[in-house]
Amino acid sequence: MAERVVLAYSGGLDTSVGIGWLKDATGKEVVALAVDVGQGGEDMNAIRQRALDCGAVESVVVDAKDEFANDYLMPALKANALYQKRYPLVSALSRPVIAKHLAQTAKSLGADSVAHGCTGKGNDQVRFEAAVAALAPDLTSLAPVRDFALTRDKAIAYAAEHNLPIEQSKKSPYSVDQNVWGRAVETGFLEDPWNAPIEDIYTYTQDPATSREPSEVTVSFSEGIPVAIDGKPVTPLEAVQLMNTVAGGQGVGRIDIVEDRLVGIKSREVYESPAGIALIAAHEELENMTVERDVARYKRGVEAKWAELVYDGLWFSGLKRALDVFIDDTQRHVTGDIRLKLHAGTAVVTGRRSGESLYDFNLATYDTGDTFDQSLAKGFIELWSLPSKISARRDLAGR
């Protein structure tokens, strides 16, 4: 029996041509795997059929939307994960779940290798291969676009020559990657970092400059996870989908950033992540109310590290797993309601309440009923600043 390779298949030009290229270059049978992470657009069945029409021996579609939301987006939300303080890791979160299904499918269909359609310049190749290495160290990773120098022009020529069912008219001038957590848009005129994005490139968000009434939404969390929106119970996936609609409708979640890729390149990236940005704002504020000071302060450093690990393709690494344990423990009291006002591209928290709140009105108030003993502050500051005072005396005496 011929050896087999499982290709992460998107239905687009590169991976469609990749089926034939892989077969020609390696002699292996190609199994196509399309993973639904809420990218929307084309019907998954049409994608499944196209892979067969392009020469795949088998074509598998996996609906991983709930798994993606439960096991990848919720940990990211608990971590308030933003790479470079801005990017909610849209693509970085989807690669490990796709890789997991690649490895599983390879095992169950007797393949010795997996493949992806990434180029050699990006982060996604690293994420796929590092995840596969961690999950199935015996599998080999192949990258036809990168390793067999499959350029865009060659791909178009190959598709025409072999009569592959790819519609050239649908090609966008940008490189887009999208899932239920958001969209990433690169290349084209955006490669000049001085060029402003145009309205055309956005699909999850309305123009924040258009005048409309604000929306208000209440998100209820239980241990860091959104469980209801405006009182209606939701699954994590439903919470994300609903917030995409409400926050996206107000233009929330547009990001334009020059980003440090793992491979050393600085690249200009435009993202939209309405649910991501709105939910992180809500979650972060609920933490402000329910997590004790030292844990909250320490967690900010952990969050930045977590985001970098995930960005850098180390989802299935020991350090990331260990940080998850810390983050999970911090979420035990992150239960309560956050009211958000969504308007003109912003998601602003206007109210918070929690049965686990550490906010004590009587300690905080400047009105009558104050239980905070101000006379204790004097001695506290005396001792707090004692080390500074002693060292200052020494430094001044030495002059």
Catalytic residue IDs: 14, 95, 124, 175
Per CB under 6 A, does 59 bind ligand ARG?
Answer: no
How many other C-beta atoms can be found within 10 angstroms of the C-beta atom of residue 319?
A: 11
* Total number of residues that touch ligand ARG (CB under 6 A): 10
Q: Closest CB to ligand ARG among 175 and 371? A: 175
Burial profile 150-171: b = 16 or more Cβ within 10 angstroms, e = fewer:
beeeebbebbeeeebebeeeee
Pairing of strands 29-36, 58-63: parallel
8 Å CB contact between 32 and 98: no
d(CA 196, CA 238): 33
Kindly state the smallest distance separating residue 16's Cβ from ligand ARG, in Å.
15
d(CA 212, CA 282): 22
One-letter amino acid of 220: S
- Between 105 and 124, how does the x/- string for binding to ligand ARG read (CB under 6 A)? ------------------xx
Q: Closest CB to ligand ARG among 179 and 354? A: 179
d(CA 306, CA 79): 7
Give the three-class secondary structure for 222: strand
Q: Closest CB to ligand ARG among 101 and 333? A: 101
Kindly state the smallest distance separating residue 201's Cβ from ligand ARG, in Å.
13
Kindly state the smallest distance separating residue 192's Cβ from ligand ARG, in Å.
17
CA 10 to chain centre: 18
Q: Closest CB to ligand ARG among 175 and 362? A: 175
Kindly state the smallest distance separating residue 63's Cβ from ligand ARG, in Å.
21
Per CB under 6 A, does 371 bind ligand ARG?
Answer: no
Per CB under 6 A, does 177 bind ligand ARG?
Answer: yes
Kindly state the smallest distance separating residue 122's Cβ from ligand ARG, in Å.
6
Per CB under 6 A, does 303 bind ligand ARG?
Answer: no
Please give the full DSSP string across 83-97, using - where no structure is assigned. BTTTB--HHHHHHHH
Kindly state the smallest distance separating residue 339's Cβ from ligand ARG, in Å.
31
Out of 92, 180, 275, 280, name the contact with ligand ARG by CB under 6 A.
92
Q: Which parts of 260-299 interact with ligand ARG (CB under 6 A)?
A: 269
Strands (E), 87-243: 113-115, 140-142, 175-179, 182-186, 215-222, 225-229, 232-233
Q: Closest CB to ligand ARG among 94 and 220? A: 94
d(CA 14, CA 146): 11
The two three-digit tokens of residue 231, written as one number: 């009182």
Per CB under 6 A, does 91 bind ligand ARG?
Answer: yes
Q: Closest CB to ligand ARG among 166 and 342? A: 166
Where does residue 119 rank: exposed (0-12), middle (13-18), buried (19+ CB within 10 A)? middle
Q: Closest CB to ligand ARG among 175 and 203? A: 175
Where does residue 251 rank: exposed (0-12), middle (13-18), buried (19+ CB within 10 A)? buried
Q: Which parts of 184-203 interact with ligand ARG (CB under 6 A)?
A: 184, 186
Kindly state the smallest distance separating residue 186's Cβ from ligand ARG, in Å.
5
- Residues in the site for ligand ARG, rule: CB under 6 A? 91-92, 123-124, 175, 177, 184, 186, 259, 269
